[in-house]
Amino acid sequence: MGEQKKKKIGFHIAISTIAGIILAVTIFLLVILKPFDTVTPIDLGPGNYGVSEVKDIDSTEYKQMINDKKSFVAMIDNPGCVTTAKMRDMMSSFSDNLKFTYYRIYWQDTKETNIREKVKYFPSIIIVDHGKIVAALDADSDEDAKYYNNAADLETWLKKYIKF
C-alpha cells in the first residue's frame, strides 16, 4: 500500500473517531442534563394541600384567580360525558391519595376565559402557575390519550407539573 493511501486512511479513521466521541458526549449530555425537559414542578401554595377537595368555580371566579396570579389545577368538566366521568373519578382518587385541592369549571363557563385558547375539547385538566396556563391535556390528541385511559399515566403527568 502506498504511503499516501495509508495517510488518507489514517486521516479518515481519526476524523471518524473524533466524530464518534463528539456524538457520544452530546448524547451523554442530552440524557444527563435533559435540556428539552425543563419542566419544574410548581407549588400550588398554601390552602391547596393537606385536604382532598374539589371546588366548583365559574368563569368569574376563574378570572379572579388568574388576575390574582394563583397557582392551581383545574378540570374542565362536562356533565353527562362518559370520558369526563372517568376523569372525574381519577382526579377524585388522586386528590384523596395526594391530599390536594383542585378546581372544576364546566365547559359552558369557559367561553369568557383564556381556557379555550389552550383547550379545544373537554374533558381536560389545566395547570396554572401564577396566573398562566402552563400545561393542558388535549382530549383530541393521540399523544394525550393515555392520560384519559390510564390512572397511572395521568398521575405521572400531574406529578410532572405539580409538587406533591
Give the closest residue to 126 by CA, choosing from 162, 91, 74: 74
The string of pLDDT tens digits covering residues 9-46 is 555 566 667 767 777 776 666 666 655 556 789 999 88
Within 13 Å and on the Cβ side, how many CA atoms surround 58? 1
CATH code of the domain covering residue 60: 3.40.30.10
Asked if residue 61 and residue 122 are part of one domain, the reply reads yes
In a domain, 43, yes or no: no
Asked if residue 87 and residue 34 are part of one domain, the reply reads no
Residue 1: the pLDDT is 59
Asked if residue 126 and residue 91 are part of one domain, the reply reads yes
What is the chain's mean pLDDT, rounded? 85
Q: Supply the range of the domain harboring residue 146.
A: 53-161
Q: Quote the number of domains for the chain.
A: 2
